[in-house]
Amino acid sequence: MAHASVASLMRTVESLLKSNSPMQSLTCDHGEEFSALHEKISSLEVTVKNFEKNSVSGEMKDLEVEVKEVANIVEQTIQLSVTEVVLANDENRREKAQERLSDSLKQIAEDIDCIGKESTNIVSKESTVQEFPRSSRNILNVENSMIGRDDQRERLLNDMTIDFSGEPKVIPIVGMGGIGKTTLVKEVYNNKSVLHRFDVHAWATVSQQHNRKEILPGLLRSTIKVDETIETRGEAELADMLQKSLKRKRYLIVLDDIWSCEVWDGVRRCFPTEDNAGSRILLTTRNDEVACYAGVENLSLRMSFMDQDESWSLFKSAAFSSEALPYEFETVGKKIADECHGLPLTIIVVSGLLKSKRAIEDWESVAKHVISHK
């Protein structure tokens, strides 16, 4: 799961750096910082791969957990910082938000450097794991809550743990970007009842410009111990290795963000179907055609928009946690939550931005801004 978190972080940064990104004007102002951060995350990906291809000691396992936590927090921090700049409604606030974004990017780079140094120490057995700086975690303390998704979570957990005979079952989770597909799958993937049920667990994040030769090594590192020569092997050999590593095992495979039927066809034959009863393949996709093509209709799970009550529950939880909510904030907050149009990611980002603001004028300013951009 550390690799999945780093891959998700990489996609967030790459989306900001794209020339056609709606945030292009913003990233131009911080181009060097984002590019440097991109390089550091690339190095972090190599570090995570080293975790996966080496036997995992206690120290290494602790570090993997730390990498996963930091990567998730870093991604949320970037999203919140960028949103704060975009929502700033006057030049003075925008300048201050830009400064905070620069500070956040510098601190994030330092935290990633720290992870790299600690991983080197562990691999070389020169030191044990030390606690990483909590600075980027202090910037943001918003969980990717599954509030309002209880029914879908329970449905997926049931589909994962009920006894099925015959060949492995494919369960597509379909919905638009930001609807909460990956968050739901992560929560179920890490559920104790699910972890104990399967012999093998593997996760691959699939980009829009997919490359099967990049997907297969990542899956293999989760199933068997491999060395650096894996990068030089051909696709056919990698596919054969993966199939053999899963033979006669109950496996759980996650393919996150599949864009086309061709991508599914490129990897599905790697997953054995004989003597693998009870195995599951979860795939997330934005494409209905992929969901229908890859899965069984009655197992497909559609992620719908949150309704008003669900949106408000998630917004309130992220913005106020367990604090009592003043009436005037509830009135304005509900207006803002409604303008997030039922998208959990948008709700989390905007409510996280308002978490540190306790002046009603700030909330009214944000409400006015988002409503004017309808």
DSSP string, 235-281: HHHHHHHHHHHHTTS-EEEEEEEE--HHHHHHHHTTS--SS-TT-EE
pLDDT digit string, tens, across residues 263-277: 898 888 889 888 888
Residue matched to tokens 């930001």: 178
Residues 165-182, buried b or exposed e (16+ Cβ, 10 A)? eeebbbbbbbbeebbbbb
Among residues 345, 351, 343, 356, the alpha carbon closest in space to that of 367 is found at: 351
Q: Other C-beta atoms within 10 Å of 276: how many?
A: 20
Contact 77, 136 (CB under 8 A): yes
Query: In this predicted structure, what is the pLDDT of residue 138?
Result: 36
Residue matched to tokens 């691999």: 123
pLDDT above 70 for 285: yes
Strand order in the sheet with 251-258: 200-205, 251-258, 280-285, 169-174, 301-302
pLDDT digit string, tens, across residues 17-66: 665 544 555 566 777 788 778 877 877 777 676 665 554 555 556 667 77
Taking the C-alpha atoms of residue 207 and residue 257, their distance in angstroms, rounded to an integer, is 7
The CA-to-CA distance between both ends of the chain, in Å, stands at 37
pLDDT above 60 for 300: yes
Q: Which residue has the higher pLDDT, 104 or 90?
A: 104
Contact 247, 275 (CB under 8 A): yes
How far is the CA of 274 from the CAs of 166, 203, 250, 278, 297, in angstroms? 8, 21, 11, 11, 22
Taking the C-alpha atoms of residue 81 and residue 90, their distance in angstroms, rounded to an integer, is 16
**Is the Cα torsion angle 94, 96, 102, 106 positive or negative in sign?**
negative
**Domains parsed from the chain with CATH numbers:** 2-139 (1.20.5.4130), 150-302 (3.40.50.300), 308-372 (no CATH)
Number of residues written out for the chain = 374
- Over residues 293-309, mean pLDDT: 85
pLDDT above 90 for 283: yes
Please, where are the H alpha helices in the chain? Answer: 2-17, 24-29, 31-53, 58-87, 91-123, 135-139, 150-161, 181-189, 192-195, 212-223, 235-246, 261-268, 288-294, 308-320, 327-338, 344-354, 360-372
Query: In this predicted structure, what is the pLDDT of residue 171?
Result: 93
pLDDT tier at 4, thresholds 50, 70, 90: confident
% of the chain residues with pLDDT over 70: 75
Taking the C-alpha atoms of residue 68 and residue 189, their distance in angstroms, rounded to an integer, is 14
